[in-house]
Amino acid sequence: MAIRTAAPAGAPASAYTAAATGPLARQDPEIAEVIAGETARQTGSLQLIAAENFASPAVLAALGSPLVNKYAEGYPGARHHGGCEIVDAAERIAVERAAALFGAEHVNVQPHSGSAAVIAAYAALLRPGDTVLAMGLPFGGHLTHGSPANFSGRWFDFVGYGVDRDTGLIDYREVRRLAGTRGPKAIVCGSVTYPRHPDYALFREIADEVGAYLIVDAGHQTGLIAGGAAPSPVPYADVVCATTHKVLRGPRGGLLLCGGELAGRIDRAVFPFTQGGAQMNTVAAKAVALGGWAAPAGAREAPPGGAHTPGVARGVWGGGGRRRPRAPRAPRPRGAPPRRAAPPRSGGGGLRGPDGRYGHPSHRGGPCTPGGGREDRTRPSGGLRAGPRHLPAPVRRRARDPAGNGRGHHPGNG
């Protein structure tokens, strides 16, 4: 496949010459061509993926620094390897900047992604089999909010809430009803596609009524919160899961914000429970991105996007662009042949695989998985016939809530 490596008209040439003439080009010209081609693609076309952004040159410099060479299991002052005095300083700076920016008592900057941060939050607060209330995937929930293709849907009993059919807003009466009837151990607030600001105070009130933890997944709102364009969940949530890419314009990675009383549990859930050594080059790059938001220029970066959102929403709503719920299917007469499945489509998350089911077969213990055939829900590793014995067995799921949690598949927070 030919890769375009020429800079588009008006684009700075420096981004291309580094890959084309530097040590990478001399040692591995094939990969250098790929990097130059991707740089050309990013700078020569409009990018409209909500989970992406452009990291600053300073962030890229930190990512490519010698800090990538340092192994640093543990936390500053309590590492399992020697020679960590300097990288400890980088992590302390990142923690201090995030705590000041978001007003959090405790911050963990080690999660490798937003999904890794969510995993750690669940590990700190929940046990396998616990009931969790979260936004259903068809309404904008994330894979880590109970998708059966994800660990969350296998290890926990997720109940999905949705949005009001007429307004498209979160149905808080349904949230309160489900919380009262199902008694969740935790309530997850956050989504990947819900276009409004959640009412964090009301979620906190409902969580307190049933004695549940409130976990806020703010992966897509982190930069807006940092810039003051979106309300902060920190005063209301027990744990906030965030990302450093997307609007924050940092490296790919996650953050965890919580109160001091949960600090130890959160830190132990990240290391050693769900991750190994921290990626110190990424931690330093997170510090660089967070420092940029503390400056006046950073604070001015987020509001324009937030300010334009109501106008876009009014235009879509007024122009008839609102997506109408699908009408229920008529019942199939007894003895009638089964309905034909929709033709398979290729592609990523949310699209049907070769067998007509959502998601890739390898994610469901299908034909691409060793062991093949239908997914084995009695084993922690899905279709695999052998797996680590220490992993908890998947949860035997109850009948789904009418909100339909788990039927959709939205691409991720990670």
Instruction: Extract the tokens encoding 198.
Output: 């959640």
Cβ–Cβ under 8 Å, residues 77 and 88? yes
Instruction: Extract the tokens encoding 72.
Output: 């640093």
Catalytic (active site) residue 161:
no
Catalytic-role residue among 204, 252, 286, 364: 252
Catalytic-role residue among 39, 144, 243, 244: 243
* H or E stretch at 91: helix 85-102
CB count in 10 Å sphere of residue 396: 9
The per-residue b/e assignment along 218-255, b for 16 or more CB within 10 angstroms, e otherwise, is: bbbbbbbbbbebbbbbbebbbbbbbbbbbbbbbbbbbb
Catalytic-role residue among 79, 185, 204, 246: 246
Catalytic (active site) residue 30:
no
Bridge partners, residue 352, by sequence = 358
Catalytic (active site) residue 171:
no
Catalytic-role residue among 38, 73, 88, 205: 73
Bridge partners, residue 256, by sequence = 108, 241
Catalytic-role residue among 33, 130, 157, 217: 217
Catalytic-role residue among 5, 38, 43, 71: 71
Catalytic (active site) residue 252:
yes
Q: Which amino acid is at 54?
A: F
356 phi and psi angles, rounded to 5 deg:
85, -5
Within 13 Å, how many C-alpha atoms sit on residue 332's CB side? 7
Cβ–Cβ under 8 Å, residues 85 and 72? no
Catalytic (active site) residue 208:
no
Angstrom CA distances, 119 to 124, 146, 258, 283, stand at: 9, 12, 15, 19
Catalytic (active site) residue 244:
no
For the CA atoms of 359, 360, 364, 367, the dihedral, rounded to the nearest 10 degrees, stands at 140
CB count in 10 Å sphere of residue 3: 13
User: How much helix, strand and coil, in percent to the nearest 5, is found in the chain?
Assistant: 40, 10, 50
Question: Active-site residue numbers?
Answer: 71, 73, 217, 243, 246, 252
